Amino acid sequence: MASIPHVVDTEWLAQRLDDPRLRLLDATTFLKIREGGAELVSGRSVYEKEHIPGAVFADLITELSDPDSPFHCTVPSHERFVEAMGALGVGDDTYVVVYDQGAPSGSPEASSMWASRLWWQLRLEGFDDVAVLAGGLAKWKEEGRPVTSEPSSYPPARFTGKRRPELLATKEEVKEALGDPSVVLIDSLSPEDHLGKRNVYPRNGHIPGSVNVFFGNLTDPKTQHFLAPETLKEIFGPTGALDPSRKVITYCGGGIAATWVALALAQLGRDDVAVYDGSRIEWAFDPSLPLVSG
Active site residues: 252
Amino acid at residue number 178: L
Q: Which of 57, 223, 42 is nearest to 148 (CA)?
A: 57
Torsion 168-245-242-6 (CA) sign: negative
